Amino acid sequence: MSRYLSNSVSSRSFVGCVVLVLLVSSFVGCTTKAKFSENAVYILKQERDLNVEISPQQRRDIAEVLAGMFGTPDKPNVPKLGGIDIANVLDATQLHVASGPVSSDERGRARGLYREHCAHCHGVTGDGAGPTAAFLNPYPRDYRMGVFKFKSTPKAGKPTHEDLRDILANGIPGTAMPSFKVLPNNEIEALISYVRYLSIRGEVERELAYLTADLVEGERLLDVTGSREDRSEQAASIRETAARVVQKWVDAESQATPIEAPDPERDLVASIKHGRELFYGPIANCVKCHGDSALGDGQKTDYDDWTKELEPINEEALEQFLGLGNFVLPPRNIHPRNLRQGVYRGGRRPIDLYRRIHNGIDGTPMPATLVIGDDAAAGTKGLTKDDIWSLVDYVRNLPYESISLPPVIEQGYQRERL
Amino acid sequence: MRIVFALGLLVVSLLSGSFGYAAEWGDLKLTFVYDGTAPVATSISVNKDPQYCGPFGLVDEQLVVNKENGGIANVIAYIYTRTGPKPAVHPDYAATANAKVVLDNKKCRFEPHVALLRTSQTLVLKNTDAVGHNTNYSTFSNPPQNILIPSSGQVEKKLTLAERLPAKVACNIHPWMTAWLVVQDTPYAAVSNKNGELVIKNLPVGKWTFQFWQESGGYVASVKQDGKATEWKRGRVEITIEPGMNDLGEIKYKP
């Protein structure tokens, strides 16, 4: 508990708050000053990658720029970025409702939805390191990288509004992420807005750290003491950076991968058989990670992209990262899905599985496929859309397939047994 | 909006004269030599597709030092123009402005280990191996990709924005596989060969800043030039290019 508080609430104001609660015996109206924490991991990563040092002054500059643009956990701000319709992505009223301590405002509206429902896992800053996080596997999402797994857009695309709705409505089966179906629609909307807010803020923070790492000594991200001209140039470049991040969320709404339904009359038995050959064969290569029996044991030493930032296979680096504080969660390997269990984190509908196989799963080793007639270069190898539907049919059938079926042997060379 | 911006750029670049041809051009050459006894390459334990990948005698490529002459391969250099004008482009580069740059999955490694790409060029990801690979690149400015490339598969990608730093390329199926993708909006980038020699050809004469980077050390910041220890802050150094060959000689470096 203490760790959660130190992460989110400055301890002095917390003590003050407890005193206040004791005095008036009501939590309502008790304003704790919650704080966003710095992305110390990413700053250290910049320093290590580039063999440079980011000074305390430079770190304060980043924090100040962020506070100016995005406000605080109690008083979020929607930055004005000019030329971009940010209101479509971030709604100030919704942010107000989702933010702040759990309470109700002057008009009796519930406030603090995020801290009530999400922060104990995802953290006040959205760093995925709330007080319960360390006990979960997989860890809760750190939104700040701007990467999401289960969505309808291709690699590097943000989730659409509908994707986030689906996640909140259904949760992520097989993980700790619960369903919030019981919440009223307006509260779900407020939470979607707030997830975007934390993600955009977090990604802008990363961009600022990235820019900062490139500055030479004495140069500043935003130099309040500099000439007016310099300052407005610096501010413009910061706004441009932020606008690029926001634009990706705007673009996502029209980026969902178009999907043609499979032929409903297709011979399902033949399609499953074809899918099985592809799964174990050299064109689709699923077997390489998901394993000879699709138990998810073909590749168990890899890490997801969040964990890779900690350089988990470099002992010296890892120790340095873990030494930053207990908000850095110890690395765990990511395992390919055990496809015999029939539990699909991104949804169990055929269209969900089609999306996962077609687009891959962002932030994880699971790759997108090359599609003939689409992105595969003419005359080269790839999968057809029908092939992908066959893979979907096969994956959906896998939980019912006998595990003792003889493995398919690839042509050309013998697969190693693990 | 875009067009207005492009026009603006055009005007700016016309004013700053960078569209005109510089009268004279020069080549830059440096030779990176390991400062100390050359470390031996560590071989990789091939735990995936051992029948196929095992026989290739794969070694770790983070730091490749030539046994004979101490030359360091794969040091990357590019002209640094975050501030200041863009350099004029020598007409010889026009021929390759729209070329295809291939990054192949070959013999269970990436070939080349460092791929140099201009924003006007096209990146071709392919797999000439008999086994499947995935090519997973983590660019910062351009959208990252992670694509399963079957044996004999091929895909083309445009990366339209310059990357500040070389971007890492990995294959998750074969965890030892790594490459680096350098994406620049000028043709003035190069990578050192197996003798540590790095040449950037046909630079417009004048003073330019160059940035140097190496996989295992990040920015090449502490070097010895003519036996004297020198600090290249953020891997950057200003060099005056004169007509003809500008050979800076041996640069001793230890990442």
Interatomic CA distance for residues A157 and A363, integer angstroms: 11
3-state secondary structure string across chain B: CHHHHHHHHHHHHHHCCCCCCCCCEEEEEEEEEECCCCCCCCECCCCCCHHHHHHHCCECCCCCECCCCCEECCCEEEECCCCCCCCCCCHHHHHHCCCEEEEEEECCEEECCEEEEECCCEEEEEECCCCCEEEEEECCCCCCEEEEECCCEEEEEECCCCCCCCEEEECCCCCCCEEEEEEECCCCEEECCCCCEEEEEEEECEEEEEEEEECCCEECCEEEECCEEEECHHHEEEEEECCEEEEEEEEEECC
| pLDDT score of B85 | 85
Complete DSSP assignment for A119-153: HHHH-TTSSS--TTGGG-SSPPP-GGG---SS-SS
Regarding whether A119 and A8 lie in a shared domain, the answer is no
Q: B23-253 architecture in CATH?
A: Sandwich (2.60)
Regarding whether A56 and A194 lie in a shared domain, the answer is yes
Regarding whether A125 and A56 lie in a shared domain, the answer is yes
Instruction: Count CB neighbours of A139 within 10 A.
Output: 23
Contact between B74 and B213 (Cβ < 8 Å): no
Regarding whether A114 and A83 lie in a shared domain, the answer is yes
Contacts of B80 in chain A (CB under 8 A): none
Name every residue whose Cβ is closer than 8 Å to that of residue A211 and which is 6 or more positions away in sequence.
Answer: A221, A237, A241
Mean pLDDT of the B41-54 span: 94
Interface check A210 vs B, CB under 8 A: yes
Token pair, residue B190, equals 């190069």
Q: How far is A394 from chain B, CA to nearest CA, in Å?
A: 19
Among A285, A301, A360, select the one facing B132 at the smallest CB separation. Answer: A285
Whole-number Cα distances in Å, B197 to B77, B93, B131: 11, 21, 34
| pLDDT score of B214 | 96
Torsion of CA A307, A312, A314, A320, to 10 degrees: 70
Torsion of CA B61, B64, B68, B69, to 10 degrees: 170
The answer to whether residue A257 sits within a structural domain is no
The answer to whether residue A144 sits within a structural domain is yes
The answer to whether residue A315 sits within a structural domain is no
Q: How far is B239 from chain A, CA to nearest CA, in Å?
A: 17
CB-neighbour burial class of residue A316 (10 A; exposed 0-12, middle 13-18, buried 19+)? exposed
Mean pLDDT of the A64-74 span: 97
**Given the DSSP bridges, would you call strands B133-138 and B167-170 parallel, antiparallel or unpaired?**
antiparallel
The pLDDT-based confidence of B74 (bands split at 50, 70, 90) is very high
The pLDDT-based confidence of A33 (bands split at 50, 70, 90) is confident
Regarding whether A354 and A402 lie in a shared domain, the answer is yes
Cβ B234–A214 below 8 Å, yes or no? yes
Mean pLDDT of the A22-32 span: 42
Mean pLDDT of the B170-195 span: 97
Cβ A50–B144 below 8 Å, yes or no? no
Question: What are phi and psi for residue B112, nearest 5 degrees?
Answer: -80, 170
Domain that holds residue A117: 34-252
Cβ B175–A413 below 8 Å, yes or no? no
Going by C-alpha positions, the residue among B182, B183, B184, B203 that lies closest to residue B28 is: B203
| pLDDT score of B17 | 41
Regarding whether A149 and A67 lie in a shared domain, the answer is yes
Regarding whether A58 and A204 lie in a shared domain, the answer is yes
Cβ B218–A48 below 8 Å, yes or no? yes
CB-neighbour burial class of residue B112 (10 A; exposed 0-12, middle 13-18, buried 19+)? middle
Cβ A289–B156 below 8 Å, yes or no? no
Interatomic CA distance for residues A334 and A268, integer angstroms: 32
Mean pLDDT of the A118-126 span: 98
SS3 call for A164? helix
Regarding whether A60 and A79 lie in a shared domain, the answer is yes
Weakest-pLDDT range from A60-64, A367-371, B216-220? B216-220
Kindly report the average pLDDT of chain B as a whole number.
Answer: 91
Regarding whether A179 and A95 lie in a shared domain, the answer is yes
The answer to whether residue A104 sits within a structural domain is yes
| pLDDT score of A408 | 61
Contact between A244 and A203 (Cβ < 8 Å): no
Contact between A212 and A182 (Cβ < 8 Å): no
The answer to whether residue A320 sits within a structural domain is no
Cβ A156–B124 below 8 Å, yes or no? no
Cβ B219–A413 below 8 Å, yes or no? no
| Chain A interface mutation, best of B53, B82, B138, B146, highest count of A Cβ atoms under 10 Å | B146
Regarding whether A102 and A231 lie in a shared domain, the answer is yes
Q: How far is A58 from chain B, CA to nearest CA, in Å?
A: 16
Among B49, B156, B234, select the one facing A216 at the smallest CB separation. Answer: B234
Interface check A295 vs B, CB under 8 A: no
Contacts of B175 in chain A (CB under 8 A): 301-302
Interface check B54 vs A, CB under 8 A: no
Regarding whether A112 and A1 lie in a shared domain, the answer is no
Interatomic CA distance for residues A286 and B160, integer angstroms: 31
Cβ B140–A155 below 8 Å, yes or no? no
Token pair, residue B77, equals 């250099």
- The single residue listed with the structure tokens 């004169």 is B242
Complete DSSP assignment for A54-96: --HHHHHHHHHHHHHHHB-SSSB-----SSS-GGGT--HHHHH
Mean pLDDT of the B28-32 span: 98
Interface check B39 vs A, CB under 8 A: no
Q: Which residues pair with B206 in a beta bridge?
A: B241
* B62, pLDDT greater than 90: yes
Count of structural domains within chain A: 3
The answer to whether residue A384 sits within a structural domain is yes
Mean pLDDT of the B49-73 span: 96
Q: Which residues pair with A291 in a beta bridge?
A: none
Instruction: Count CB neighbours of A104 within 10 A.
Output: 12
Q: What is the pTM of this model?
A: 0.90
Going by C-alpha positions, the residue among A413, A359, A380 that lies closest to residue B126 is: A380
Q: What is the pLDDT of residues B75-112, one digit of tens each?
A: 999 999 877 788 999 999 999 999 999 999 999 999 99
Mean pLDDT of the B27-48 span: 95
Domain map (residue ranges) of chain B = 23-253
Q: What is the pLDDT of residues A184-207, one digit of tens each?
A: 999 999 999 999 999 999 999 999
Regarding whether A18 and A143 lie in a shared domain, the answer is no
Q: Which residue has the higher pLDDT, B142 or A223?
A: B142
| pLDDT score of A225 | 86
Going by C-alpha positions, the residue among B100, B86, B211 that lies closest to residue B155 is: B100
SS3 call for A283? coil
What single-letter amino acid sits at B7?
A: L
Q: What is the pLDDT of residues A284-297, one digit of tens each?
A: 999 999 999 999 99
The answer to whether residue A374 sits within a structural domain is yes
Cβ A382–B153 below 8 Å, yes or no? yes
Q: What is the pLDDT of residues B190-244, one digit of tens each?
A: 999 999 999 999 999 999 999 999 999 899 999 999 999 999 988 999 999 999 9
Taken as a whole, chain A contains a residue count of 418
The answer to whether residue A107 sits within a structural domain is yes
Kindly report the average pLDDT of chain A as a whole number.
Answer: 89
Give the CATH number of the domain where residue A348 resides.
1.10.760.10
Cβ A369–B52 below 8 Å, yes or no? no
| pLDDT score of B16 | 42
